[in-house]
Structure 1
Amino acid sequence: MPEGHSVHRIARQFARNFVDQTVAASSPQGRFADGAALLDGRRMTTVRAVGKQMFAEFTDDVWLRVHLGMYGAWDFAGEIEADPTIAAANGRMGQTNQRGVPMEEPILDEAGENSLASIGAPRRARVHVRMSEQTTGLADGDADFPPPVVGQVRLRLLTERTCADLRGPTACQIQDPDEVLASIAKLGPDPLVGDPHEGEDRFVAVASRKPTAIGLVLMDQAVISGIGNVYRAELLFRARLNPHTPGRDVPVELLRELWRDWVRLLAIGVETGQMMTMDDLSPEDHRRAMAHRDDRHWVYHRAGLPCRVCGTNVVVEEAAGRKLYWCPSCQA
């Protein structure tokens, strides 16, 4: 499931390529035909991400809410203009100790993509876009536009230059302004939405009353928005916090530090396109981490491997149907 940084990157690309454009909408799959008909011919006026959900406004107060869920993905084709707030990251290595390390050549990840200039996760092989800081261009120079529909496309949004296909979302629905406000009201604070200090107070006030294990609290989108399996494991390890500790038993200052660390990591994720959670990396190690997931996390996906700090084997267990990775020594 894409975590919060991915949805923010996708929303920023929609803002760059679709906002202020009249959009043709269709549902090739047929499951969203009525909703697509309401969007067709309207102008997209704004788009925002809140946690793992994206909300796009069209003229006449018509809104589209999309939650990608476990299997959803946006595929883009045509002319893709890079969001300068993302593309500008080409010269930076993040907002931790890696800041300022020069990029002599693009770093490709396991999918063969330069995540600094990609649209955002989930980045799949079928997403072929060329994005750069200074240019725009066709994703596939000799391909017809718009591209043929491939597979089960729930919703296609099309401008004169750019195509976005939505597949497999958990939620894709039309909402009016009151329904949008109600949907957002159900979500916990997001560091990139509103005042982060107010968000911190909201998170602490709710989490500090929870009898639920903090490892589950962090995954509750009604308590805090955008955290998924990867960030959950990494935040808890960075805090040296046992994931089974009830939220109400976690010291308030430690809850505040969890929030502040989420602020930091989310910003790095949006900037780099990767869930980078390790600090103090050398330039060489940072390049390796940008290219390979196994080199960018403390405990996530490292079950049975020695903890990078103490050498104890990292364990994995099921927690509310999701895999929870943690170090039983560092997080005792």
Structure 2
Amino acid sequence: MPEGHSVHRITRQFARNFVGHVVHASSPQGRFAEGAAVIDGRRMVDARAVGKQMFLEFEGGVWLRVHLGMYGAWDFAGDIRMDATIASANGRMGQTNQRGTFLDAPNPDAVVLDAAGENSLTSIGAPRKARLRMSEAEKESDAPEEFPPEPVGQVRVRLLTDTVCADLRGPTACEVRDSAEIEQTVAKLGPDPLVDDTDAAEQRFTEVVRRKPTPIGLLLMDQSVVSGIGNVYRAELLYRARLDPHTPGKLVPEETVRALWRDWAHLLRIGVETGQMMTMDGLDPDAWRAAMADRADRHWVYKREGLPCRTCGTNIVLEEMGARKLYWCPTCQT
């Protein structure tokens, strides 16, 4: 399932390519024909993300709410203008990492390719013709010969301007809502550091966690407690905090809860900038390049069950928590 950084990246593509343009909407699959008819011919005026949900606003107070869920993905095609901080190299989409940004990589100018189809760090400039899939991993393929291209697969909704189209497949939620309904939806979500990184947002997160008897490993995945954290970030945040996933929220020290919030803000920004869930700090240039090229070198505990902890040597444990796989070190995190 795409985690918060991926949804923010997709939303930035809509902000760059669709906001300000009249959009033609259709449902090649047919399941969203009624909703597409409501959007069709309206100008997109805003694109926002909160956690794992994205919200596209059109003239007249009409919104499209999308939750990609486990299998959803957007395909972009046409003269795609990359977001100012998003770039591409050698067929894979990524984030530009220029000197002066917050991400202090050991070698900011390195071209790093990820073998699993995630992202690189080099800008190619824009606009240019391309076909780009954006979900948890972003992959670019050859540009279609005709524009707009024929829909491929079960396209729930197609959004089309004169130069760019975006096809949505397999979402958990795709619905038209008015402004009041969107406000109600957002109000039910926990804070997102990229939307609100104020002291008030940190306090809200801290107070909710500190009054719950629920294990912290479940609270971090509860989108009403905090927005955007999925399975990868949960495991890595808990390890970085040296926190037992089974600890009830109310028993986690306040300073640790606040540190979790700040670390989530830190990792989320890195994820948006690089396109990768990089969760290891302080790497030398060679280790950085290896980590950006291979997820196996990018995380402390995620997907490392049975392997020795990078810190203490204890084998990483895999168990199920909240119907999702949980990876943790029983020595460092107790």
**C-alpha displacement at 1:270, in angstroms?**
0.4
Secondary structure of the residue aligned to 1:203 is helix
User: In structure 2, what is the equivalent of residue 194 of structure 1?
Assistant: 196
Structure 2 matches for 1:1-332, cutoff 5 A? 1-87=1-87, 89-91=96-98, 95=102, 98-99=104-105, 101-111=107-117, 113-114=119-120, 120-123=134-137, 125=139, 127-128=140-141, 140=143, 143-332=145-334
Secondary structure of the residue aligned to 2:80 is coil
**C-alpha displacement at 1:23, in angstroms?**
0.5
Q: Is the 8 A contact 1:211 1:248 kept in 2?
A: yes
**C-alpha displacement at 1:112, in angstroms?**
7.2
Q: Is the 8 A contact 1:76 1:163 kept in 2?
A: yes
Point out the structure with the larger helix share. Answer: 1
Q: Is the 8 A contact 1:26 1:155 kept in 2?
A: yes
Secondary structure of the residue aligned to 2:168 is strand
Cα distance between partner residues in 1 of 2:203 and 2:52: 21
**C-alpha displacement at 1:115, in angstroms?**
6.0
Cα distance between partner residues in 2 of 1:101 and 1:30: 48
- Paired amino acid for 1:204: T
Q: Is the 8 A contact 2:280 2:299 kept in 1?
A: yes
List alignment gaps of at least 5 residues for structure 2: 88-94, 124-131
What is the TM-score with the length of structure 2 in the denominator?
0.91
Q: Deviations over 1:107-159 (max 9, x none)?
A: 3442275366687542355x43xxxxxxxxxx61x611111111000000011
**C-alpha displacement at 1:285, in angstroms?**
1.0
**C-alpha displacement at 1:202, in angstroms?**
0.6
Identity %, equivalent residues: 63
List alignment gaps of at least 5 residues for structure 1: 129-138
**Two-structure CA RMSD over aligned residues (Å):** 1.9
Q: Is the 8 A contact 2:97 2:273 kept in 1?
A: no
Secondary structure of the residue aligned to 1:84 is coil
What is the TM-score with the length of structure 1 in the denominator?
0.92
**C-alpha displacement at 1:238, in angstroms?**
0.1
- Paired amino acid for 1:89: T
Secondary structure of the residue aligned to 1:79 is strand
**C-alpha displacement at 1:284, in angstroms?**
1.3
**C-alpha displacement at 1:197, in angstroms?**
1.8
- Paired amino acid for 2:81: E
Q: How many residues align?
A: 319
Point out the structure with the larger strand share. Answer: 2
- Paired amino acid for 2:116: E
**C-alpha displacement at 1:194, in angstroms?**
2.6
